[in-house]
Structure 1
């Protein structure tokens, strides 16, 4: 009975979010409360369990980066980058979209997706405001690009960090096995955006002339503050890159960076805290509690166990199920808790493989499905939720279906190509 109740609450919540019958934060809080009252979540473990509770590493990573971005915003550098991007693209919508996607995809393998979106989204909103065009298609394209690009490395996407730790895979392993697929899929994705967003790619020639006349250097309000902020941000990026070597969680790096940013720049805390998107943080907490209900009642594990028993010794079929199954399930369950839950199941499947290469092929199939499944819906990945929150705060709301109608197509395209890659390379 408990699994049925958990599933009903989860599906019902997704329905309210998708149809926007109720605010998403209210929805997840009510759902989380129902999970707790009905005993479907593991009591106090929901606050402390790594696999059956709130992923505080994600919450504090978001909070720390929101503070850092809030300080950087005071320098005017986002206006500078916005004017630069607009002038570089000469206001041509598709060229501008490609430029922003390239910046996002190139940075995503080095920084995690959430950090990239928090840095690039404000720039996108500024440049679109300058050109008097709708920023929503550009924000959606950037999120899709970040979820694809982040799959290339160990630290680019949170699911990869979980998989690398569980399977003993190194940074170089991800570069060798994941990066080739990501490069090809991203290139085809860029080409497809011209069709996907064709109705939104319009130019306002009147405002383009005004933007081309602007001097981007004048947008910088405080050069000294900018230099200090960029120095701290550079150290934070280095910290993210070395976190596995230093054995320090990315969330700790972000929190230390936020504290250092406030101290070094001497910014008034009262000016920065309003920049923190508290609604997004609360939404994530509620979402993690909802997923904990599915995990604790055994629904997710049952799906994985069924997959193991169904495919037996047919490892290509198992890899196929991991790619498409992860993409489908990950589209409705945030891919961080989903990956953490399914990793032990995949470990069991890989352990039964006849050789190490076949076992690793299952891990790569799982990683590709989990990462690309993050594009499936508006709640499938942390970067999606963060981008939607930033857009809402800027007065450009992106609905669940507005995002999802693009995400489903890109997920289908990328996972199909990933399936072909796994077949060609490993089977």
Structure 2
């Protein structure tokens, strides 16, 4: 008789079929734990727990609760007990203690237990429990050493319901489950409740009905503190950065010290009726291009075909001596026309006194041969101006003898932009300092090109209206935060979304889109960002992805109306566009359809990108970390068992099945996107108590001021009532709020302003103007126009829509959208005016409105709202870099522009909605 035969004989003697209870001789009746074996069947794996009296455990418990408890406590052994051999048992004994005591190894545990009993019975040991038996009793919570598990066959499964998350691959095997009921009537599982002293409390997690200890706690040095900066870890890179920036500083200071500011003086001229007015240039040109600036009562380019009054301007070279500005030459052979004539439309003489003064710039190209001859013969150059009206025409002229060579300037402008983005992308310095360095470098390059701007010019480049709007709204938001309204709104949104993560994100995105359609996107982000951060903190989510999502939707929502985004204001303020039927309602109707489609596509993209909901969490839940650790432990244990024998394969397969169960549980938990119901209710009650409205009086005053500011914003969109800009409206509203709220501590209010963000905008405005002065913006515009004109007439509208949309979008992703929009408006108007092209205006306007707004989502510096959001996040301690935003924003930009392209082609090329 071998060992297993003895073990089976001992099992039958020990547990006769009719005897299922034991009576304790001390302390009255004591409930004995019962081990229930399930035979191999298709429904194997079902659990039936019985007490010593034969009644199901959990009597008196409601059915729903009993099902939940049984569902939580089901423990499956993945190896049949009949297949446990002596050799596989020896391999099991070599496994780590925590793995041997896992519920999935219960078959091996039971064989080991009965082996200990048999060993004691054969050798006549005292009835004291063996270490294995004592361990079972200890884990069961039973203080009576004589209480050991009994074994009996399991009856037909009375529940019939199979755990939905069990793997189907385990069906057909023989399973064993151990449940123990102690003398207090508390049902406990064997082998998976550890003493507190054995497991550190912070690393114990309830997982799939088991309590699993943290076997390998994370070391302190493995935790990312966020302080491992590039400079500290790599001294070579640190000193390389310092050297490169120092060289840049040396280049800047060298150019600014050597070159003077360019001062161009104006000259007043009066063009006599019917005569030509010569003007000898005070200095010879220094290049083959000569730039002039004219001011007078000119007409716009769009009125060229509807007027008969012109000025004709051209250049001449002469080598003879002139008496003053006399138009008669001593030697007519010495006079040569060296440029093509430029025709400028002017108003009717009756309107000279009432027409507005318009500034025009023009560059005359002098051929290289003429340029060399002028300097070789010491010739003079004069500008000839004549008109075809019967009245004197006054103009103001500025002559620039050394304008920027646009061919070289475009290269330098591209270099400065690449340099800026390199500093921001690789986070060499803070983005504000990077913008200051790049703008200063651009000014020094202009100085090297003999076009150094004056300080008055540089100050004039800064958009004070935008800076004033940001400054005022930051103060308004800072005062609103004192009322507790942001925390209150966060709790309310948390309440209506029932703690579900995706419901919360969609709610925030839709609210941001709607608000941004009527307020500018900067103001919207200033209002929504604090609410978003507070909500994410409540739900233990990482605010950075959610903040980037609402910023993207703020830019999308601003596309919907003429007042939603600065590019739209520029477009709808153009008089030519207004006179061709682009009204507030027309603009909103055409843009709303596209915005809805883009919002749907963007939300689908977000769902796909964050399919694993735990990527949105601030910290991975402890139970998921514990699951990952345990999977690694079990895989490591299985890997140490060589698959050279059948017995070893039994143990190895048992371990791998456990790994598959853990992986299934991990996948299940990773797809959860909501807070547990109990936790949601508890958290909601706590939040409602902790975050009421703190200052209702100040909230009412702030609400009145907000209504006042918003009403002024709407009045600004009405041309007849346009008297005050957005910056002035916000500033006056904030002044009113400071007056009625009686704020005396201005230091506390001003400390809440994002000064680095304001400085960043000032530096970027300067940089964009310098880049435009180098010729980059005009070069992009001319390239766009030439491409559209090169295609056939049938495809011209589709190509025009695609070119305008994509060039404005891609350019706005890396260059501020305001100068890009200002440039593209001129191109759109010029394309519409050319009757030979036959292009309707409205589809081009819609393409231009979508391009800069959607393109601003591409990079962190593509839109003002992006920078504002990054500043607010950094103020709250949540920093995201250029690349963090680029990884989310640029794909969304591409998807949204692709969707918009399809919408515009279908609406205006296929169905001709315009």
Partner of residue 234 from structure 1, selected from 680, 704, 707: 707
For the residues of structure 2 that align with 1:143 and 1:132, how far apart are their CA atoms?
Answer: 20
Kept in 2: contact 1:143–1:383 (CA 8 A): yes
User: Unaligned regions of 5+ residues in structure 1, if any?
Assistant: none
Matches within 5 A, 1:74-93: 74-93=482-501
Q: Is 1:250 aligned to 2:662, yes or no?
A: no
SS of residue matched to 1:85 = helix
Q: Which residue of 1 aligns with 2:735?
A: 259
For the residues of structure 2 that align with 1:171 and 1:306, how far apart are their CA atoms?
Answer: 31
Matches within 5 A, 1:303-382: 303-312=780-789, 314-352=796-834, 358-382=840-864
For the residues of structure 2 that align with 1:341 and 1:273, how far apart are their CA atoms?
Answer: 36
SS of residue matched to 2:717 = helix
Q: Which residue of 2 aligns with 1:424?
A: 906
Q: Is 1:54 aligned to 2:462, yes or no?
A: yes
Tell me how far 1:83 sits from its aligned partner. 1.2
For the residues of structure 1 that align with 2:865 and 2:809, how far apart are their CA atoms?
Answer: 16
Moved more, 346-355 or 397-406: 346-355
Q: What's the CA shift string for 1:106-134, capped at 9, x where partnerless?
A: 11111110000000000111111122221
Q: Is 1:125 aligned to 2:533, yes or no?
A: yes
Matches within 5 A, 1:127-206: 127-166=535-574, 167-168=577-578, 169-199=582-612, 200-202=615-617, 205=676
SS of residue matched to 1:275 = coil
Tell me how far 1:215 sits from its aligned partner. 5.3
For the residues of structure 1 that align with 2:768 and 2:682, how far apart are their CA atoms?
Answer: 49
For the residues of structure 1 that align with 2:564 and 2:503, how far apart are their CA atoms?
Answer: 25
SS of residue matched to 1:152 = coil
For the residues of structure 1 that align with 2:683 and 2:491, how far apart are their CA atoms?
Answer: 7
Tell me how far 1:45 sits from its aligned partner. 2.5
Partner of residue 290 from structure 1, selected from 752, 763, 767: 767
For the residues of structure 1 that align with 2:567 and 2:883, how far apart are their CA atoms?
Answer: 24
Tell me how far 1:173 sits from its aligned partner. 2.1
Q: What's the CA shift string for 1:299-341, capped at 9, x where partnerless?
A: 1111111111122152321211111111111100121232123
Tell me how far 1:21 sits from its aligned partner. 1.3
Partner of residue 424 from structure 2, selected from 17, 20, 31: 17
For the residues of structure 2 that align with 1:365 and 1:258, how far apart are their CA atoms?
Answer: 36
Q: Which residue of 1 aligns with 2:439?
A: 32
Kept in 2: contact 1:76–1:220 (CA 8 A): yes
Q: What's the CA shift string for 1:133-167, capped at 9, x where partnerless?
A: 21111101101111111101000111100111122
Kept in 2: contact 1:59–1:285 (CA 8 A): yes
Tell me how far 1:422 sits from its aligned partner. 1.3
For the residues of structure 1 that align with 2:804 and 2:527, how far apart are their CA atoms?
Answer: 32
Tell me how far 1:176 sits from its aligned partner. 1.9
Tell me how far 1:357 sits from its aligned partner. 7.2
Q: Which has the higher helix share?
A: 1
Q: How many residues align?
A: 423
For the residues of structure 2 that align with 1:408 and 1:334, how far apart are their CA atoms?
Answer: 15
For the residues of structure 2 that align with 1:404 and 1:111, how far apart are their CA atoms?
Answer: 25
For the residues of structure 1 that align with 2:726 and 2:696, how far apart are their CA atoms?
Answer: 28
For the residues of structure 2 that align with 1:103 and 1:233, how far apart are their CA atoms?
Answer: 17
For the residues of structure 1 that align with 2:688 and 2:716, how far apart are their CA atoms?
Answer: 35
For the residues of structure 2 that align with 1:207 and 1:240, how far apart are their CA atoms?
Answer: 43
Kept in 1: contact 2:831–2:839 (CA 8 A): no
For the residues of structure 1 that align with 2:541 and 2:594, how far apart are their CA atoms?
Answer: 33
For the residues of structure 2 that align with 1:33 and 1:304, how far apart are their CA atoms?
Answer: 25
| TM-score, normalised relative to structure 1 | 0.94
Q: What's the CA shift string for 1:246-284, capped at 9, x where partnerless?
A: 312111111111111111211232221111100001011
Kept in 1: contact 2:859–2:882 (CA 8 A): yes
For the residues of structure 2 that align with 1:172 and 1:288, how far apart are their CA atoms?
Answer: 31
Partner of residue 223 from structure 1, selected from 681, 696, 706: 696
Tell me how far 1:208 sits from its aligned partner. 4.0
Matches within 5 A, 1:103-114: 103-114=511-522
Kept in 2: contact 1:66–1:118 (CA 8 A): yes
Partner of residue 890 from structure 2, selected from 404, 408, 419: 408
For the residues of structure 2 that align with 1:29 and 1:116, how far apart are their CA atoms?
Answer: 26
For the residues of structure 2 that align with 1:426 and 1:112, how far apart are their CA atoms?
Answer: 28
SS of residue matched to 2:841 = helix
For the residues of structure 1 that align with 2:682 and 2:584, how far apart are their CA atoms?
Answer: 46
Q: What's the CA shift string for 1:353-373, capped at 9, x where partnerless?
A: 569971221111111111110
CA change 1:354–1:187 in 2 (3 A) is farther
Tell me how far 1:196 sits from its aligned partner. 2.1
SS of residue matched to 1:214 = helix
Moved more, 150-159 or 130-139: 130-139
Tell me how far 1:42 sits from its aligned partner. 4.3
Partner of residue 457 from structure 2, selected from 37, 40, 45: 45
| TM-score, normalised relative to structure 2 | 0.45
Moved more, 274-283 or 347-356: 347-356
User: Unaligned regions of 5+ residues in structure 2, if any?
Assistant: 1-407, 618-673, 910-914
For the residues of structure 2 that align with 1:198 and 1:113, how far apart are their CA atoms?
Answer: 28
Kept in 1: contact 2:490–2:534 (CA 8 A): yes
CA change 1:68–1:356 in 2 (3 A) is farther
Moved more, 330-339 or 383-392: 330-339
Q: What's the CA shift string for 1:383-417, capped at 9, x where partnerless?
A: 11100110011000011111111111111111111
**Structure showing greater relative contact order (alpha-carbon pairs closer than 8 Å, 6 or more residues apart):** 1
For the residues of structure 2 that align with 1:127 and 1:317, how far apart are their CA atoms?
Answer: 45
Q: Which residue of 2 aligns with 1:270?
A: 747
